[in-house]
Amino acid sequence: MKRPLVILAVFYVLGIILAGLIRLDFWLVMGVAIVVFACVSLGVREKHLFLVSVLFLALLAGGLNLKNSHRLPGCHIRNFVAHKDNAVYCLNGFIASQPEFKNDHLWFILRARQIQADKLRYKCCGEVLVKMDFKQALNYGENLTLIGGLGRPQVFSRSQGYRDFLARQGIYLIMPIQNHRQIIRQDKFSGGQLIRGCLWLRFYLEQIISRHLPALPASILSAMVLGQKQGIPWLVSNSMIKAGTVHILVVSGFNVGIVAFVINLLLKILRLPRKGRIILTAICLLIYCLITGATNPVIRATVMGLVFLAAYLLKREADIYNSLVSAALFILVINPRQLFDVGFQLSFISVLAIVYFYPKLKARVHLESCKIKILKFIIEGCLVSFSAWLGTLVIIALNFRIIAPVTVLANILIVPLATLITLCGFILVLSGLIYPDLANLFSLPTMALITLLLNINASLIKLPGAYIYF
């Protein structure tokens, strides 16, 4: 069997999909899985029957994992809150994410430890999304006592998207806070010291960027390098959505790849052994993941990067299909509900589309016969961009109700610019850490490149038929 891991992953994913569509009892699925596992363990002499049993076991494992992900522990905070009640709760816990101010609200995740209702206190677990109507200086790890109501996330129109999105993150409740009297701050801190240190470093790096660039370029560079999108104006993000270039504002595989390349190059210049370079690059990727907030796109990209590094460390040729499948399985085993996340789907399908379609398109146009290097480079860029657009066309159309033919041209022009901006941004940040006066030298080309990127993007969406909403 060629690429057995890919076949197993397909059946595992199919099991997740079927479990999401068909409502089966958890213990029934568990019982069938145990029987199949016993048959496989005892050994089936017939080769084909053994293969079918293994694939069926992978199918059951996917379904069982999804069913299990919906089962919450008895101490979970959702079990203490009645649906649509007007009770006032007293909730103790600590801030498990760096607070962010967006849409005129301060948002953060509180990891609950104790809940009080009707003068009764219970130990609890789980996370709550807190929505504050005012700004307040809060940081990751602070212990808080919050007083207020708890409710399920709102559903807009007939869409369950927002509620499902939060559920995939393990969040089922929101607590609105309207005034300062609902918050009692405590002196103690919780959470990981490493995460707190990485978040402090991110804040410091943001200050370097904002000190050397005007507000708009600084907000775009912070998004591209540090994953902080709060300061980006709506008009800019909407323009990039129409052009299909909004992915450059999200720290993902593109940025993680640049970080891995730069770190590996620097370590190679320092003549570090191959094994040491790979290990240090992996450590730096994990730290970068924490600095950027460990969002789902960054985690996916980091896992993919670590899989490739592991292949090189073991001195094995990295097979792109096996590497992608390994990264996807790692994420889906931990959280199978990520399969239904649009970002997850786009991350992997775009790469798979490039790997699958690009060689075929390249052979069709007989690119090897082209002797003009610049023309060959442009055609290759067109084919890569077209492959990614072709692979993600249906998903984007179904989820965002937009088809943007201009995406192919836009990515050919903007992705190289985004690469230069990201490299300049990293150099600006590093020089700001080492020698601040040197950062002014790199701020000028960075600002010029960002301005050029915005102007090109704005011009492209003005072309006839650039995008179509439906």
The CATH number of residue 184's host domain is 2.40.50.140
- Residue where one domain finishes, among candidates 40, 69, 98: 69
**Residues 376 and 436 both lie in one domain:** yes
**Residues 259 and 381 both lie in one domain:** no
Asked if 307 and 323 count as a contact pair (C-beta separation under 8 A), the reply is: yes
Environment class of residue 179 by beta-carbon count within 10 Å: exposed (0-12), middle (13-18) or buried (19+)? exposed
- Residue where one domain finishes, among candidates 69, 87, 104: 69
**Residues 444 and 426 both lie in one domain:** yes
**Residues 120 and 183 both lie in one domain:** yes
Backbone angles phi, psi at 253, to 5 degrees: -60, -35
- Residue 49 has a pLDDT of 67
- Residue where one domain finishes, among candidates 278, 298, 331: 331
| Number of domains present in the structure of the chain | 4
**Residues 446 and 458 both lie in one domain:** yes
Please tell me the distance from the alpha carbon of residue 432 to that of residue 304, in angstroms, as a whole number: 30
Distances (CA, A) of 335 to 8, 69, 157, 182, 328: 17, 7, 27, 33, 10
**Residues 162 and 263 both lie in one domain:** no
**Residues 411 and 364 both lie in one domain:** yes
- Residue 37 has a pLDDT of 66
**Residues 170 and 54 both lie in one domain:** no
Q: Which residues contact 304 (CB under 8 A, 6 or more apart)?
A: 253, 256, 323, 324, 327
Instruction: Please work out, in degrees rounded to the nearest 5, the angle formed at the alpha carbon of residue 240 by the alpha carbons of 239 and 245.
Output: 160
Which range marks the domain in which residue 220 is found? 198-251+332-469
Distance of alpha carbon 126 from the chain centroid? 21
Phi-psi region of 111 (alpha: psi -120 to 50; beta: other; left: phi over 0): beta
pTM over 0.85: no
One pLDDT digit (tens) per residue for the chain, 470 residues:
567 778 888 889 988 888 888 776 666 766 776 776 666 666 555 666 667 777 888 888 888 888 888 888 889 999 888 766 778 899 999 999 888 888 788 999 999 999 998 788 999 999 999 999 988 888 889 999 999 999 888 765 444 567 888 888 889 999 999 998 899 998 888 877 888 888 888 888 888 899 889 989 999 998 888 888 777 888 888 898 888 888 888 777 777 877 888 788 888 888 888 888 888 988 888 888 888 877 777 887 888 888 878 877 776 656 778 778 888 888 898 889 888 888 888 888 888 888 888 888 888 877 777 777 777 777 777 788 888 888 888 888 888 888 888 888 888 888 888 888 888 888 888 888 888 778 888 888 999 999 999 999 999 999 888 888 87
Q: Among all chains, which residue has been given the structure tokens 């992953």?
A: 9
Backbone angles phi, psi at 106, to 5 degrees: -100, 125
- The per-residue DSSP string of 185-249 comes to EEEEE-S-HHHHHHHHHHHHHHHHHHHHS-HHHHHHHHHHHH---TTS-HHHHHHHHHHT-GGGG
Closest CA to 241 of 249, 231, 251: 249
Please tell me the distance from the alpha carbon of residue 28 to that of residue 92, in angstroms, as a whole number: 38
- Residue 143 has a pLDDT of 93
Rounded (10°) angle between helices 342-364 and 373-400: 140
**Residues 279 and 391 both lie in one domain:** no
**Residues 178 and 82 both lie in one domain:** yes
Residue 413 in 3-state DSSP? Answer: helix
**Residues 33 and 164 both lie in one domain:** no
Please tell me the distance from the alpha carbon of residue 202 to that of residue 302, in angstroms, as a whole number: 17
**Residues 367 and 457 both lie in one domain:** yes
